[in-house]
Amino acid sequence: MNYRHPLILILTSLLLSCSSNPTRQVDNYYSRQNLTAPATKNFTHCYGYGCKKRLDISLADKDWRRITSSFQHQAKNAQMEREQIRSAIAEFEKIVGRIAGTDGDIRGSFLKLTRQQHDCVDESINTTTYMILLQQKGLIKYHDIWTPSYRFLRNGLPSWPHQTATLIERETATKFVVDSWFRDNGYPPFIIPLKTWRRGWQPDKTMLPEVYADQ
């Protein structure tokens, strides 16, 4: 991810946590990134580390049908909706990756260094964008979209800063991170409580079958 101003990121995250208007804060976040707010007709795809490379994306009706297929049945609760969101984001990544040439993106930031690779800034912005688009389509009912969350710990020890997309469950006000950085392009992201993630959570081998299937 982009490490140029970690202190600013911390202060920004703390300030945002005090606000009760998720939509306004997300709009402000896009403005600070010099990004146009996402719309279903056209949105920006970030890649190349720190959103240095950007591509305007427009999706066909058939693409939207694939993306929204996981919402065919209305979610009965917030947990079910989070699973639907995971599936939709995976489809977004497959479709947008094919258009942008980033379908070969793999987990992490440095296992493969190419212009088409994503770091956690790219992943968090793209995932936030995808969730906003689902919300605009009226498909997200149990959550609000929040600005990306930050952490500086892994397994309780200091580490490089990391950021990821974030949801707020409306009924409980619980924040969940939606972290696609740990997986290759086109796989469902991990959605876990922000408090757990902030303590340094990372997936184990059983959570990454695409990586460890032969081991």
Has residue 10 been placed in a domain? no
The predicted model gives 165-180 an average pLDDT of 97
Name the domain count of the chain.
1
Is residue 152, in this structure, part of any structural domain at all?
A: yes
- Mean pLDDT to the nearest integer, 147-152: 93
Q: Which residues contact 8 (CB under 8 A, 6 or more apart)?
A: none
pTM over 0.95: no
Residue 34 falls inside a structural domain: yes
pLDDT recorded at residue 15: 46
Q: pLDDT value at position 14? A: 45
Per-residue pLDDT reduced to its tens digit, 3-58: 444 444 444 554 444 445 778 889 999 999 999 999 999 999 999 989 999 999 99
The least confident of 75-89, 109-123, 189-203 is 109-123
Q: Does the residue 149 lie in any domain?
A: yes
Q: Evaluate whether residue 157 is within a structural domain.
A: yes
Contacts of residue 11, defined as CB under 8 A and 6 or more positions apart, other chains included, come to none
Q: Is residue 9 part of a domain?
A: no
Alpha-carbon distance 167 to 174, whole Å? Answer: 8
Amino acid type, 80: M
| Mean pLDDT of the residues in the chain | 87
Domain contains 4: no
Contact 95, 69 (CB under 8 A): no
Residue 17: name the closest of 168, 192, 180 by CA: 168
Report yes or no on 212 lying in a domain: no
By C-alpha distance, which of 13, 5, 4, 23 is closest to 151?
A: 13
Residue span of the structural domain in which 175 resides:
21-201
pLDDT at 156: 63
